[in-house]
């Protein structure tokens, strides 16, 4: 893959079929408001990151194929081959990885969807700080941004590497899409800083609200069932 080549769309589509099967059997995967994700055109999903399963569950339960930026250390051995097969994008988190960013821009230029965990590393998932990559890509492409809250992947009392028990409820909640609104009179660095803070603030607020909304659902109110992957024309 060169810097300007987007992964073939069929790759992410294939991975989602497999992922839906896994998260509909081994876990109780659920989505909330998937209709908020535009079915066509460039879009960036930004999600909180608290545990290992965040990436696989969002990728699998998204209402359209998504190519995620994934740390390059994961692209080794059999798992790395799987990630490449399903159209994920390796990124070096120690530098400003221009190749990864250009590949993400190419996906969006082709009308695709890109997924990013802007916190960079797994944390408590409260989105207290984010890196600038998501904002840079959104400014560069004009793509709309959808905040995504991942719930249930972090085991209470467990570490960020602890997996939930089988059949645990995992929820992916989508927020309203938004476009960056940054003062054009600012310098390039200031615009990027302001855009980054906007991404952080919107995602943090969405996660906070989603966690509050999720409490009664854990006591018996069901989320939406995992839908079958839609086609690329937007039919659910």
Residue 3 has pLDDT above 50, yes or no: no
Average pLDDT over residues 189-200: 95
CA neighbor of 153 nearest in space, from 87, 61, 44, 236: 61
Supply the pLDDT for residue 234.
41
Instruction: State the pTM of this model.
Output: 0.84
Between CA 147 and CA 58 the distance in angstroms is 12
Tens-digit pLDDT profile for residues 20-37: 777 878 888 899 999 999
Write down the pLDDT at residue 201: 96
**Domain 9-222 top-level CATH class:** alpha beta
166 vs 17, residue with greater confidence: 166
User: What strand order describes the sheet that includes 89-91?
Assistant: 89-91, 67-71, 113-116, 43-47, 144-151, 169-174, 28-32, 224-225
Q: What is the percent of the chain with per-residue pLDDT over 90, rounded to a whole number?
A: 47
Q: What is the C-alpha to C-alpha distance for residues 135 and 191, in angstroms, rounded to an integer?
A: 9
pLDDT band per the 50, 70, 90 thresholds, residue 215: low
* 197 contacts 172 by C-beta, under 8 angstroms: no
**Looking at residue 212, what is its pLDDT?**
85
Give the residue from 115, 114, 122 showing the smallest Cα distance to 49: 122
Here the tokens at position 58 are 């969002």
Query: What pLDDT sits at residue 41?
Result: 96
> Do the Cβ atoms of 116 and 45 come closer than 8 Å?
yes
pLDDT at 1: 41
pLDDT of residue 219: 34
CA separation for the pair 202, 194 (Å, rounded) = 12
């Amino acid at each position: 893959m060169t810097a300007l080549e987007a992964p073939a769309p069929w790759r992410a589509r294939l991975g989602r079929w497999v992922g839906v099967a896994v998260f509909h059997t081994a876990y109780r995967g659920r989505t909330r408001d998937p209709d908020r994700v535009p079915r066509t055109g460039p879009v960036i999903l930004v999600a909180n990151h608290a545990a290992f399963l965040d990436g696989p569950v969002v990728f699998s339960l998204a209402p359209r194929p998504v190519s995620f930026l994934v740390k390059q250390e994961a692209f080794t051995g059999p798992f790395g081959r799987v990630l490449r097969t399903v159209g994920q994008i390796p990124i070096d988190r120690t530098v400003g990885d221009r190749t990864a960013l250009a590949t993400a821009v190419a996906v969006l230029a082709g009308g695709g969807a890109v997924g990013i965990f802007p916190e960079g590393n797994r944390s408590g998932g409260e989105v207290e700080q984010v890196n600038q990559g998501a904002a840079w890509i959104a400014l560069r492409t004009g793509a709309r941004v959808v905040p995504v809250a991942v719930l249930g992947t972090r085991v209470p009392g467990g570490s960020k590497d602890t997996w939930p028990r089988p059949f645990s409820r995992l929820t992916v909640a989508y927020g309203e899409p938004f476009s960056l609104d940054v003062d054009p009179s600012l310098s390039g660095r200031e615009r990027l800083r302001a855009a980054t803070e906007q991404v952080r603030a919107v995602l943090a607020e969405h996660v906070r609200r989603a966690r509050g909304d999720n409490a009664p659902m854990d006591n018996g109110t069901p989320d939406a069932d995992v839908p079958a992957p839609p086609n690329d024309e937007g039919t659910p």
